Amino acid sequence: MKTEIMTLKVESDLKQAFKTIAERNHRPASQVIRELMRAYIATNREPNDLTIESMIKSERGEDIHCTKDFNDLCKQLGI
């Protein structure tokens, strides 16, 4: 996988606290930042993979569910 260098500005105290905690956990700061970036992308991507899959199934008329009322919905969802 090709890598690139990314330069960003952060407050000195934020940088130092981040580096201190990363070192305490025996993890390179760059690895932690990559994980944070991946998590940010995964949680903010719209629509997400599950939503896309559900939309495709709905368009095909698959996996469609009907409920009588709210209680029936909760029962079908197991909540």
Return the pLDDT at 49: 85
> pLDDT (tens digit, 9 = 90+) per residue, 61-78?
999 989 999 999 999 999
DSSP per residue over the chain, as a string? -----------HHHHHHHHHHHHHTT--HHHHHHHHHHHHHHHH-SS-HHHHHHHHHHHHT-S----SSHHHHHHHHT-
Residue 44 falls inside a structural domain: yes
Sign of CA dihedral 6, 9, 11, 12: positive
Return the pLDDT at 1: 85
Please count the structural domains in the chain.
1
Residue 2 falls inside a structural domain: no
Print the domain residue range for 45.
Answer: 12-77
> pLDDT (tens digit, 9 = 90+) per residue, 16-35?
999 999 999 999 999 999 99
Residue 33 falls inside a structural domain: yes
Mean pLDDT over all residues of the chain?
A: 94
Residue 5 falls inside a structural domain: no
Q: The tokens of 69 are what?
A: 């009322």
Does the pLDDT value for residue 8 go beyond 90?
Answer: yes
Residue 37 falls inside a structural domain: yes
